[in-house]
Amino acid sequence: MRIFEVLLLLSSVVLLVMMFSKSIHCRTLFLASVSDMVLLIIHLVVEGYRVQLLFPYCLIVIIFSISLYRLLRKEEARRVPRYLSVPLTSIATLLLVLTAALMYAFPVFPLPEPTGSFKVGTQTFHFIDYGRKEQFGEQPGVQRELMVQVWYPAQNTTGRPLPFIPESTRVLKEEPMSQTMGIPRIFMNYLKYIQTHSYEGAEVASSNSSYPLVLLNHGFGSSKIYQTSQAENMASHGYIVASIDHTYSTFATVFPDGRTTTMRTDDEQVGDKPYRDNVGKMWTDDVTFTLDQLEQMNAGLIPSGLEGRMDLKRVGVFGHSFGGAASYDAANDPRIMAGIDLDGALYRYDQAPLTKPFMFMFSERTFDLYNKVREHYIYTDEELAEMGATREGFEEALTEVETQVEHLVYVAQHGGQVLYIENTEHYNFADLQFITPFLRQFQLIGTISPARSAALVNAYTLDFFNKYLKGEGGSLLEGPSSEYSEVKFATSLFAGKE
């Protein structure tokens, strides 16, 4: 919560008490309401309007107006009849409690502070793939277009950091949480106030001649926006990070000409293997094409200020959910040295397993599923009913999961890692986890603190890429750590060494 809105809520409580107090003089009430009006103006100017605080706004203005009227008329404060004061006080108290609950439920949260020594710069690029036709757009046959945001180590930063949602007017019209959870869309407008730690167009840091490149992929139906803190943290440690918006698989992507594309790939059909593989190949090709474009940028063929600053001999890839699957599939590109899948089920898993360094980091629920398949666990009818599955349908899906487990086994046996984090759920691997604690009620985030889960994911992601792209670090990958006790190693289980 922001300091002035907290002060505004507390001062509203005090003002309400004074309003219905028998002993408060009219002039005293007026002076208190004036100070609250000043605080309100400061809040609106510095922090911005929030619909969640509508009642305190109204309360302060009403009491200020009443006290001013009485002062001008030189009226003494009159006692409000009990039959009015009791219900009015009760209703006002309930509305202030509701305000506090809304402030808690929809906090203007701070993104995790990057832990590296570099400042962070960012630029966003519009790429058109003239070699591919768009499959999912409204106009068939047009070229595939992507928006890619690049974060990098920076110096001489000036001005204010970039907003978390730069195109908030367009993007927030499509914000998915209001639709998924039935939250009024106006309640989500507070997201426009959240700041990143990135400076748009900042100068690339001159400490190193070049920096390793890491490609980043968001989850299905999400956006590169919700992987911001991961990108910033990597950039602060001396990486260039290119985060891809996979067009028509995001809730909103805004292009330079003002067009906004929304979700057109089907989140129900994506459970069917042929459709999933088709969408997946599109994402994999997006990663490959983006890497092609970054090579041209590095050669100076695309203006950016990043010419020659990417070390294209040290390239990694990672992502969340479907973006994790994209990272696993795209890592077959010979230019990519290593990759990470954050809680993502695979696609195109009929192909041969990956033979280069790779790490799977799962939520506790996802790990439990894969581990039970590894153990050949037989679910009871009651367990299947609880999951809403029939035995026939489950057996069919089980065959596909068993094939995915074979990939985990191969990776574990050939130097990779299989980890999971206790008390996490699927969205603990993206910035979506900070939006509202309501996600916990829907089992979208776990009981772990979002700040803690972000710190764990960032620490292990950084250590992995440090080891395989920079040839340093890697101590966290050696086994359990008392500092990060929530992270559990399952590599030996899948490798068959236990």
Cα separation, 360 vs 371, in Å, equals 13
Mean pLDDT for the stretch of residues 328-343: 98
Asked if 96 and 5 touch (Cβ cutoff 8 Å), the reply is no
Tokens of 82: 């009990």
Cα separation, 249 vs 5, in Å, equals 36
Tokens of 286: 């997006």
Asked if 4 and 39 touch (Cβ cutoff 8 Å), the reply is yes
Residue 85's pLDDT is what? 66
Distances (CA, A) of 275 to 138, 268, 281, 350: 18, 10, 10, 14
At 94, the pLDDT band (50, 70, 90 cuts) reads very high
Domain boundaries, the chain: 3-105, 119-495
Q: What is the CA radius of gyration of the chain?
A: 26
Tokens of 485: 């006790």
Provide φ and ψ at 255, rounded to 5°: -100, 160
Question: At 146, which helix (H) or strand (E)?
Answer: strand 143-155
Residue 435's pLDDT is what? 93
| β-bridge pairing 211-217 and 203-204 | unpaired
Question: At 419, which helix (H) or strand (E)?
Answer: strand 417-421
Which regions of 184-251 does DSSP assign to beta strands (E)? 198-200, 203-204, 211-217, 240-245
Q: Which of 267, 276, 283 is nearest to 331 (CA)?
A: 283
C-alpha 235: how far from its chain's center? 17
Mean pLDDT for the stretch of residues 475-493: 97
Residue 231's pLDDT is what? 98
197 vs 393: which has the higher pLDDT = 197
Selection from 185-199, 392-406, 419-433 with the highest mean pLDDT:
419-433
Which residue type sits at 487?
V
Provide φ and ψ at 338, rounded to 5°: -160, 160
DSSP assignment of 3-27 equals: HHHHHHHHHHHHHHHHHT-SS--HH
Which residue type sits at 108?
V
pLDDT at residue 256 above 90?
yes
Asked if 146 and 245 touch (Cβ cutoff 8 Å), the reply is yes
Q: Which CATH superfamily is domain 119-495 in?
A: Alpha/Beta hydrolase fold, catalytic domain (3.40.50.1820)
The label of the residue with tokens 């609250």 reads: 36
Q: With pLDDT > 70 as the criterion, what percentage of the chain qualifies?
A: 97
Three-state DSSP at 253 gives strand
Q: Which of 299, 296, 241 is nearest to 124 (CA)?
A: 241
Cα separation, 172 vs 313, in Å, equals 38
Kindly state the DSSP code that residue 163 receives in the 8-state scheme.
Answer: B
Residue 63 burial by Cβ neighbours in a 10 Å radius (0-12, 13-18, 19+): buried
363 vs 388: which has the higher pLDDT = 363
Mean pLDDT for the stretch of residues 461-478: 97
Residue 84's pLDDT is what? 67
Q: Which of 455, 465, 445 is nearest to 487 (CA)?
A: 455
At 384, the pLDDT band (50, 70, 90 cuts) reads confident
Distances (CA, A) of 191 to 99, 163, 187, 214, 371: 17, 9, 9, 27, 37
34 vs 174: which has the higher pLDDT = 34
pLDDT at residue 78 above 60?
no
Kindly state the DSSP code that residue 332 receives in the 8-state scheme.
Answer: T
Other CB atoms within 10 A of residue 334 CB = 7
Residue 389's pLDDT is what? 84
- pLDDT tens for each residue of 107-128: 999 999 999 999 999 999 999 9
Question: At 150, which helix (H) or strand (E)?
Answer: strand 143-155
Question: At 124, which helix (H) or strand (E)?
Answer: strand 119-133
186 vs 201: which has the higher pLDDT = 201
Residue 498's pLDDT is what? 63
Mean pLDDT for the stretch of residues 195-216: 97
At 79, the pLDDT band (50, 70, 90 cuts) reads low
Instruction: Quote the pTM value.
Output: 0.93
pLDDT at residue 178 above 80?
no
Asked if 15 and 92 touch (Cβ cutoff 8 Å), the reply is no
Asked if 115 and 236 touch (Cβ cutoff 8 Å), the reply is yes
Cα separation, 397 vs 316, in Å, equals 31
CA distance between the termini of the chain: 47
Residue 169's pLDDT is what? 85
At 98, the pLDDT band (50, 70, 90 cuts) reads very high
